[in-house]
Amino acid sequence: MPTNLGRIQVTQTPPVAAALKVAELEWPDVPRAEQITRLLTAGAEAVRASRAERAAARRLVLNETRGSLRSAYPRDYLDDLRQDWAE
């Protein structure tokens, strides 16, 4: 079908062939091109969700440890440290 959109070429390596078999089982009455589009969309959503989960986990750790080192340094230690710096 004619289009102005870019096209890609993908070699059917064993992992790609396995993914296509999954798509055929999931969407048997859908044309192969639509199966590939659905796989790509589902894969992108899975990656996006995984990134969001990792970011949430990092935020949780940061919130849990926030302020835990306050007692490790004296109150004005940065001012004292900066006095030794050349202007």
Per-residue pLDDT of 3-49, as tens digits, reads 899 999 999 999 999 999 999 999 999 999 999 999 999 999 999 99
Taking each continuous run of H as one helix and of E as one strand, the counts in the chain are: 3, 0
Q: Kindly state whether residue 74 falls inside one of the protein's structural domains.
A: yes
Cβ-based neighbours of 8, under 8 Å, separated by 6 or more: none
Q: Kindly state whether residue 69 falls inside one of the protein's structural domains.
A: yes
Q: Is the pTM of this model over 0.75?
A: no
What is the domain count for the chain?
1
Which residue range is the domain that position 57 belongs to? 14-83
* pLDDT at residue 60, as a whole number: 97
Q: Does the pLDDT at position 71 exceed 90?
A: no
Longest dimension (CA), the chain: 74
For residues 15 and 18, give the distance between their C-alpha atoms in angstroms, rounded to a whole number: 5
* pLDDT at residue 43, as a whole number: 97
List Cα–Cα distances, 40 to 18, 37, 54, 66, 86, in angstroms: 14, 5, 21, 39, 56
